[in-house]
Amino acid sequence: MLPEALKQYPAAAALAAKADSSITGGKFEFKELTIDVDAAQIIAVLKTLRNDLGWNRLSSVTCVDWHPKQTGRFEIVYHLQNTSTWERIRIKAALDGGSPEQLPEIDSATAVWAGANWFEREIYDMFGVVFRNHPDLKRILMPIDWVGHPLRKDYPVHGYKYSYKSE
Amino acid sequence: MSKVLHLEDHHVASELAPQAPVSETGARRMTVNMGPQHPSTHGVLRIVIDLEGETIVRAEPDIGYLHTGIEKECEEKTWQQVVTLTDRVDYLANLSNNLVYALAVEKLLQIEIPERAQWLRVMMTELSRLNSHLVWFGTHALDIGAMTVFFYCFREREEILKILEMFSGQRMMTSYIRIGGCALDAPRGWEKVVRKFIDGFPSKIDEYEGLLETNPIWLKRTKGVGFVPLDLMLEWGITGPMLRAAGLAMDARKNTPYSSYEKFDFKVPTRTENDVYSRYRVRLDEMRESTKIIKQALEGMPSGRFQAEAPHVVLPDREKMKTQMEALIYHFKIVTEGFRVPVGEVYQVVESPRGEIGYYIVSDGTAKPYRIHMRTPSFANIQGLPKMIEGCLIADTIAALGSMDFVLGDTDR
């Protein structure tokens, strides 16, 4: 359900008209529109945004780790742009923390934009979020045999390997 | 020692090496490693290329050799300290990176930046755009075999670096644009130096053009090479001069103006051929437009403060610090613990010489950023590289790579 306060914004209202049940929240702050959606519906929402509502460009995909929160620990953030009005919109999907054996999973946006490929590989590398149906999910910035996901908040800045504190 | 993140990384592919060569046509397929130390990549980029004869059938870029964990490091620094890290993302467009970071944080802080500071920012970023395009132009021509252009370009680049040094004390890692304004006011006599450079520069661009425009080797090696359709470029997130050479006038300076770019009169050059040659033309025209912007900034530079009136963010004058109690307290607070930024998230975009830089910044209300994601243009552009070179001859790879104008530090962060 779209929050009442957001109904005045055409972009938010248009999405609500198509996929109101997938929306879990949203806000308008610093002149930027953010819409929270259900992670299970993310591909359907992105397809609607791209095909029906004119958000034809994917600017970036990234992730935020809200450690130590377990419910909704990872927020996958999509920034879209409309190349005829040059407006931007932010779509967010929250994922639970998972465990070392069972990493959090979400569907890959490569089904909608092929260009999500490397951004999602980067998130997998840095946060350990698995993208289902990704064509080539492997580490991109860290070495292939690296253990751990460095941008997680419980990963120390100096890493585990070279910690001088533990000596 | 904590064991939280010793995960079994079963999702990692066993190795990046390509599959065993199989060919449908029966031709012998060969796998070649281009890089990681190939001179034409101007950095550390490895491309795994499958060849049939001299034709590329598959290309896969492998990045990460220059990964330095800048995003992680940002989370450990105070807001103002991060400025020095943004410099190091892209050594040719450090002012664009400073600017996008400063704009994003100022949006969160909701502070008003004085007009003089905005104009100084515009002038300096345009100078660094010239710097970046000159380095690209010189090295690109060098890769293709025209050696002389390199010396001409670096002659003018030296002048720009001297101007940057005059303003900020540094030639490359300037950290000139800070949260709340600029690091320093324009130095005494700056108008004379900038005017001397900018008056002479348009004729220099003509000179570069003269070096290459009638050179048959240059034309043969660039025209019709490295074509990617516009819709594929949008699909893969390619931005900047590459996209403008394909006909889409996407330029954040024009479409979503920031830092008072709307007050400057300039055009966004576009072409439609969408090959290496048209990218070179677009960048040359951009240099001319940047020259115009710098000239307007020089002639209309407003007077006033070069930093915002925001005592909790901007360091006080040295003089005030010695005479006023409040100034001393603010100085002590900002230097020892930094300033707090309200809770929120912003996505700020600026146009760097290479394309769209977007910083996504999340603040949790403390004196350090909670998360900074840098959407760098080189990262998204290199992602589209296979689309550009698959089906081409291997010799054209060099020209196609050069026309992307990536910086590997920008890719790997």
What's the gap in Å between the CA of A29 and the closest CA on chain B?
A: 8
Q: Which of A141, A144, A153 to probe the B interface (max B CBs under 10 A)?
A: A141
Residues of B in contact with A33 (CB under 8 A): none
Task: Tell me: cis bond preceding A68? Omega within 30 of 0 counts.
Answer: yes
Residue B103, CA atoms < 13 Å, CB-side half-sphere: 22
Say if residue B15's pLDDT is above 50: no
**B124's tokens:** 């300096």
Task: Band the pLDDT of B374: cuts 50, 70, 90.
Answer: very high
- Pick the more confident residue, B310 or B28: B310
Kindly give, in sequence order, each residue whose CB lies less than 8 Å from that of residue B307, ignoring residues fewer than 6 positions away.
B114, B117, B178, B180, B181, B182, B314
Model pTM score? 0.89
What's the gap in Å between the CA of A19 and the closest CA on chain B?
A: 23
DSSP B122: H
What's the gap in Å between the CA of B322 and the closest CA on chain A?
A: 37
Amino acid type, B47: I
Mean predicted confidence (pLDDT) in B272-281: 90
Say if residue B13's pLDDT is above 70: no
Residues of B in contact with A57 (CB under 8 A): 234, 237
Q: Which of B65, B235, B368, B381 to probe the A interface (max A CBs under 10 A)?
A: B235
Q: Which chain B residue is nearest to residue A118, measuring alpha carbons?
A: B383
Q: What is the pLDDT of residues A69-125, one digit of tens each?
A: 888 889 999 999 998 899 999 999 999 888 888 899 999 999 999 989 999 999 999
Residues of B in contact with A79 (CB under 8 A): 347, 358, 360, 375
pLDDT at residue number B9: 39
Residue burial B238-264, b: 16+ Cβ < 10 Å; e: rest: bbbbbbbbbebebbbbbbbebbbbeeb
Residue A107, CA atoms < 13 Å, CB-side half-sphere: 14
Across the interface, whether the CB atoms of B16 and A77 are under 8 A apart is answered no
Say which of A58, A113, A142 has its CB closest to residue B64: A142
Residues of B in contact with A146 (CB under 8 A): 9
- Rg over alpha carbons for chain B, rounded to the nearest Å, is 23
